[in-house]
Every structure is written in structure tokens, then in C-alpha cells.
Amino acid sequence: MASVYGFLTCLLLLLWNTNPAFGLSRTQAGRQPSPRAENLRPRRDVWANYQAMYPTAATSGAHQHNIYGTSANFSIFNVLDFGAVGDGKTDDFKAFQNALNAAATGGIVFVPPGQFAFLQNSTLTVPRGATLQGTYSTVPSHGVHDGSKPDVGSVLLPSGGRGSEDGCFIELSEDTTVAGLTIFYPDQLPQQVPQPYPWSLCLHGNNAAVTDIECLNCWNAVRAVAAARHYIARIQGQPINTGIYVDETYDIGRVEDVHWNPWYASDVTFMSWQLLHGRAFVFARTDWEYVLNTFAFGYAIGYHFIASKEGSCNGNFLGIGADMAANASVQVDASDPMGILITNGEFTAFVDPQFGTQYADSTQVVITAANKGAVSFSNSAFWGPANQIAKISGSGTTSFADCIFNKWDHDKKGNSAIEVENATGSLLVRGCDFQYPASQVDLGSTLKKAVITGNIISGSTNITGKALNTQIGMNADDNPS
Ligand SMILES: *[C@@H]1O[C@H](CO)[C@@H](O)[C@H](O)[C@H]1NC(C)=O
Ligand SMILES: *[C@@H]1O[C@H](CO)[C@@H](O)[C@H](O)[C@H]1NC(C)=O
Ligand SMILES: *[C@@H]1O[C@H](CO)[C@@H](O)[C@H](O)[C@H]1NC(C)=O
Ligand SMILES: *[C@@H]1O[C@H](CO)[C@@H](O)[C@H](O)[C@H]1NC(C)=O
Ligand SMILES: *[C@@H]1O[C@H](CO)[C@@H](O)[C@H](O)[C@H]1NC(C)=O
């Protein structure tokens, strides 16, 4: 019996992995709602247990608990002690803000399990030195496609500010942290055109950090502007319009272990909007940004590099991925001369036809006319069904080294994998594997320098166009040498 179940499980996993639409329709269809206590109430016994973990804990005043002994002034403030209700209905803004103010000298505001409503268009301000801490010590994810609210752990339910993305739900200043909770917008409905809300988490000032947070259906999830050494780690969910936005950061910011996936809505109306407009990661001016282990499914653009009035980005992107990017997995409108270094990337660009955005010209890498900086891909894999691997304009240097190009020319227009359009910079393609039997490179006529060497080619070599100085050699295709 066990082996039969094992076999069936393998079969299911196989179906799950090989059919891109399978995961979506499954969640829409027969998902069993888990048994849930509606309007889960906050539990004071959790707080009591927490105190019990620290036998030397002393209590000074109703709201202050020195848990590491009396000599260290290290305090935890429970939002319940400040009047928070957590019944999913009562506005808990004042209680949260008062608890945060109490922690202004450095302390933790603890959010027990419960559904905490924020009914107004108001901004919770985390003062310098404070941490807003929920129950999770690693990031949760809830699939609630039936429209119900997440029912475990610390859940914040903002509903104010609907209709405009101006403003912030939670603002973090210097040396602050928000961690261990879920943010869920109860009025953002999964089967309608998504509506704007203010940014969920705004980082501003040095060393602001958000960790272990689920942005389940945020409009715009995390904004780090003028946020030197921002730390954004272990964040999951389905932000609809923008996942992470970074600008004006002049000392190294970090983004790690972020996973955006349609856990909230995979409905056609909702997803069609997200696939046409949504952007998972957006980088404007940031110096030496470090981005590690990130993934996004189902956006117009996976990684978008833009210019703001402050400038553009240079940085290190390691182990990044974008699946079902409708327009582009990576789009570079601007980058710094020192460049965007992408290593071990995994990218697919396409649109599942059920979402109706077939007119999108799905391309893995789009570099537009204004870009001047270097864009370098190494040891990265690109697979489709995309129209193209790369469309390259601008005056920078673009390079692909040890990359795998699996599928392109989906619309059968005779597109080359890499197509240069009016670019006046340089192109390097070295040691790559062109796995699909269609044209490889069209160099156009405006490039300064092109080097295409040491590649493996499926079918016959077809490299068209030429640069001022073109070097092509030592490529092996399926024809005998
Ligand atoms: C703890 O903080 C209180 C209030 O800010 C202060 O009066 C007290 O001296 C501090 N205790 C220690 C040991 O630092
Ligand atoms: C919400 O508040 C912000 C200011 O924080 C404001 O700019 C925005 O227009 C407000 N949104 C709505 C819908 O009133
Ligand atoms: C994606 O491409 C479509 C079609 O060209 C365009 O209308 C849309 O604005 C693009 N989305 C983004 C985020 O650039
Ligand atoms: C390239 O230049 C031609 C002629 O100026 C123009 O029509 C076309 O839109 C340009 N393509 C891009 C991608 O900039
Ligand atoms: C080579 O590629 C070009 C497009 O860049 C295409 O027009 C041409 O038909 C291709 N030649 C062969 C033999 O496939």
C-alpha cells in the first residue's frame, strides 16, 4: 500500500512541476478550507508562557517587563496591555502606537496571536530603537484563496487608505525592526481588479529592518528610500503592484530570501492585472545593493532597474529568479557604469494564455535605449516559452557567460535569441549553450564591439549583423567541423 501511495505522490508532484497552470487551477478549485476559529482572539497565556521562559523576569509597572533580569533595561511591551483587542473588527491603531511610543528608548512591542484591525488611513510609526515583533520566528505563508483571513499567528489587517498608494501603513525609522507577522488587507478581494493601498512597510533612515513577514496581498509591500544598510529578509506573499522598491540608498542595502507567489489570488481578473502592471523588485539609486535568493512568480517585470532623480543602481544579484514574467524577467532602463552583476539567475518569460495578456512580448532580458551601464549575467539559465532571450539597446556593455538559453521565438517571427536594436555599446556572449534550434544572435549594425566565442549551438549557426569590430569563433553547432 505504502508504495502505491508513494507512486501516486510522485505522479502528483510530477504533474505539479510540469504543468505551469496546474498549481494555479488546483488552488482555485478543490482546496479544503482548514478548520479555523473565526475571529481568533489574542491569547494572554502565550504571553504568560513567554514570561515563564525567563525565570529571572521581573515586572516593573503594568506595561513593562524586564525579562533579562533587573540590571538590563530591556523591555517588552504587549499591545494588549495598551488596549489592543485583536478581534478583527475593533481599531487597534491607538493601542499599537502607544505601545510603540513606550518602546521609544529601545524595546520590543510584542504582538500576540490575533487579528488586529486598522480601520483608518493612519501610519504606525516605529520609533528609533524599537522592534514591533509578532509570533513568527520564520516567515509564514497562508494560502487563503477562499477570501478568508489568515487565522494563526500575529495578523495585522489594514483597511484604510483604499484607492491611493500614497502614504505608509508602517513607517520604520533609524535602528528599528518589524518582524514575525502577517499583513493582510481584508477588503482587497481576490476575484476583482486589485485596488491601491498605501505602502505596507516604509523604511527610512539607517539600519531599518523587516524580517519574517508575510505580505499576503499588499498593494506595494516594502519601500526602502533613504534607507542606508536596510535589511529586508525572509519576506513572502503576493504583493500586487510592487514587491520591493529601493532608492536613495548610499550605503549597502541587503535583500535576502524573498519569495513572491500567487498565494492569495490566482483568479483571472486579478492575475491579468498583476501580469500587466506588477513589478516584483524595483531598484533605482542604490550603491552596492546585495540581493540574494529571491523569487517572483507572475509579474509584468521580475527585476526592474530604473533611474530616479537620484540616479540608478549598481549591485550584486546572486541566485535570483523570476517565473512567468509577462514582459521581462529583467528590464534595465538604467544602471551605473560599475554595473548590475547577476549570477546563478533562473528566468522564464511567458504568459499563461488564460490570463489574456498574449500581446505581451515576453522577453527574458530587456535593456532599453537610455541604459549606459554594464549588465553582466553569469551562469544563468533562461527558458521559455519566451519570444526572445534578450533585446538590447543603449550604450552599455551587456555580457552573458556560461549561460543556458533554452527556448525562444515562441511566436515564430524568426527572432534571434539575442537581438541588438540600435545599441551603441558592446556585447559579449561566451561559453553559453544555445539549446534551441533557432537563430542565435542578430548584432544589428550600430554596436561598437561584439565577441561571440566558445558557445555550443543546437542546429546551425545563424549569427547576423555586425559590429564595428566583430569577433566570432570557436562555436560548435550540429554540423561537422
Ligand atoms: C531603566 O530605565 C529607567 C527609565 O528609563 C531608568 O530610570 C533606570 O535608571 C534604568 N535602569 C538601568 C539599570 O539602566
Ligand atoms: C492616506 O494618507 C496619505 C498621507 O499619509 C495621503 O497622502 C493619502 O492621500 C491618503 N489616502 C486616501 C485614500 O485618503
Ligand atoms: C508590459 O507590457 C505591456 C504591453 O506593452 C504594457 O502595456 C505594460 O505597461 C507593461 N508593464 C510594465 C510594468 O511595464
Ligand atoms: C531603433 O531605431 C529606429 C530608427 O530610429 C527606431 O524606429 C526604433 O524604434 C529604434 N528601436 C529601439 C528599440 O530603440
Ligand atoms: C538567420 O536569422 C535571420 C534573423 O536574424 C533570419 O532572417 C534568417 O532567415 C535566418 N537564416 C536561416 C538560414 O535560418
Distance of alpha carbon 322 from alpha carbon 227, whole angstroms: 25
Ordered DSSP codes for 340-408: EEEES-EEEE---GGG--TTS--EEEEE-TT--S-EEEES-EEESS-SEEEEE-SSSEEEEES-EE---
DSSP at 207: T
Nearest residue CA, atom 2 of ligand 5? 439
Query: What is the structure's pLDDT at 1?
Result: 38
By the 8 A CB rule, do 2 and 117 touch? Answer: no
CA neighbor of 329 nearest in space, from 362, 361, 354, 356: 362
Query: What is the structure's pLDDT at 146?
Result: 72
Q: Which atom of ligand 4 is nearest to the CA of 393?
A: 13
How buried is residue 11: exposed, middle or buried, by Cβ count under 10 Å (0-12/13-18/19+)?
exposed
Mutate to test the pocket of ligand 2, among 121, 124, 187 (most ligand atoms within 8 A of CB): 121
Give the distance (Å) from ligand 2 centre to CA of residue 197.
Answer: 9
Residue 69: nearest ligand to its CA? Answer: 1
Distance of alpha carbon 170 from alpha carbon 93, whole angstroms: 11
Asked which of 16-20, 303-307, 373-377 is least confident by mean pLDDT, the reply is: 16-20
Asked whether the predicted pLDDT for residue 207 surpasses 60, the reply is yes
Give the distance (Å) from ligand 4 centre to CA of residue 322.
Answer: 27
DSSP at 140: -
For the whole model, what pTM was predicted?
0.87
Query: What is the structure's pLDDT at 63?
Result: 39
Nearest residue CA, atom 8 of ligand 3? 276
Measured over the CA atoms of residue 252, residue 253, residue 257 and residue 258, the dihedral's sign is: negative
- What average pLDDT does the segment 303-331 reach? 98
Give the distance (Å) from ligand 2 centre to CA of residue 166.
Answer: 5
Q: How many CB atoms lie within 10 A of CB 287?
A: 16
Our answer on whether the CB atom of 161 is closer than 6 Å to any ligand 2 atom is yes
Residue 417: nearest ligand to its CA? Answer: 5
**Taking the C-alpha atoms of 263, 264, 268 and 269 in order, what is their torsion angle to the nearest 10 degrees?**
-150
Confidence label for 59 from pLDDT (cuts 50, 70 and 90): very low
Q: Which atom of ligand 1 is nearest to the CA of 72?
A: 13
Ligand 3 pocket residues where CB is under 6 Å: 276-277, 279, 300-301, 327, 360
Q: Which atom of ligand 4 is nearest to the CA of 422?
A: 1
CA neighbor of 139 nearest in space, from 66, 236, 221: 236
Q: Which atom of ligand 2 is nearest to the CA of 162?
A: 13
Give the distance (Å) from ligand 3 centre to CA of residue 370.
Answer: 17
- What average pLDDT does the segment 223-239 reach? 98
Ligand 4 pocket residues where CB is under 6 Å: 369, 393, 421-422
Ligand 1 pocket residues where CB is under 6 Å: 71, 73, 105
Q: Which atom of ligand 3 is nearest to the CA of 327?
A: 1
Q: Which atom of ligand 1 is nearest to the CA of 71?
A: 13
Query: What is the structure's pLDDT at 73?
Result: 52
Distance from the first to the final alpha carbon of the chain:
55
**Averaged pLDDT of the chain:** 87
Residue 416: nearest ligand to its CA? Answer: 5
Residue 394: nearest ligand to its CA? Answer: 4
Our answer on whether the CB atom of 415 is closer than 6 Å to any ligand 5 atom is no
Distance of alpha carbon 403 from alpha carbon 383, whole angstroms: 11
Give the distance (Å) from ligand 1 centre to CA of residue 63.
Answer: 15
Query: What is the structure's pLDDT at 349?
Result: 95
Distance of alpha carbon 369 from alpha carbon 93, whole angstroms: 46
Our answer on whether the CB atom of 393 is closer than 6 Å to any ligand 5 atom is no
Query: What is the structure's pLDDT at 74?
Result: 58
Nearest residue CA, atom 4 of ligand 4? 422
pLDDT, tens digit (0-9, with 9 covering 90-100), for 271-301: 999 999 999 999 999 999 999 999 999 999 9
Torsion region of 366: left, alpha or beta (phi above 0 gives left; psi -120 to 50 gives alpha): beta
- What average pLDDT does the segment 340-364 reach? 91
By the 8 A CB rule, do 81 and 59 touch? Answer: no
